[in-house]
Chains A and B, each alone.
Chain A
């Protein structure tokens, strides 16, 4: 069966510090991978998605970036965090078949920028 891992579970960082959140998927090959953010009281905002190694698409302009160095690894980064980067970050995966697959979410990372 497939599983998705995210770490760390919680993170408190000062403004201006760097960020690296990691997501890995097990039990599947060539998944589509996604990073979402849920700000306090808001819905899910798609930040990045990837259909393959090194292929990253950005949905919204921001000071975040994503990378996919391996097939089942997806990393969310920032060189300098802003207060507005606080939120709940979710990684998700889906099968490569179009439109019939469900997205499965990881447990999330709670990021607080002070």
Chain B
């Protein structure tokens, strides 16, 4: 049962434009969400997080938006750069899981064209 879904396996964006990556979840108990970036043959690196008490979190060019009623979060990258080309995973967890069990989406491959 996929509790975190990334329905777009790939996304292509022109350099300088906005990239919007989407993620949906089904478990209403999730209260902490993360985005990871992964290059081929490397481990994912943490990008940005958001807790359910907020609906927006910014870090430089990266902004994560959380819509709890829709069980939806998105990652905005503005402006997109060729170095942003990677696979992006969203992940979610719940405080009741006292062992930091994270559920990952299947990833979206972002290609930023020069």
Binding site for B on A (CB under 8 A): 6, 32, 36, 42-44, 46, 49, 51, 57, 88, 90, 92, 94-108, 110
Contacts and interface: CB of A to CB of B under 8 A. Distances in A.
Contact of B43 (A32, A46, A96, A108): A108
Interface residues of B, number: 29
Interface string B1-23: 00000100000000000000000
Interface string B72-114: 0000000000000000010101110111111111110000000
Interface of B: 6, 31-32, 34, 36, 41-46, 49, 51, 89, 91, 93-95, 97-107
Contacts of A99: 31-32, 93-95, 97, 100
A107 B102 CA distance: 19
A32 B93 CA distance: 14
Main secondary structure of the interface of B (DSSP, over half): loop
Contacts of B36: 105
A105 B44 contact: yes
Residue in A88, A92, A99, A107 with the greatest tally of chain B CB atoms within 10 Å: A99
A61 to B, nearest CB: 15
Nearest to A106: B43
Contact of A46 (B42, B101, B107): B101
Given A103-B91, A105-B43, A43 B97 contact: no
Interface centre among A32, A36, A105 (most CB of B within 10 A): A105
Contacts of A102: 34, 46, 49
Nearest to B36: A105
A96 B44 CA distance: 20
A108 B41 contact: yes
Given A99-B93, A102-B34, A44 B41 contact: no
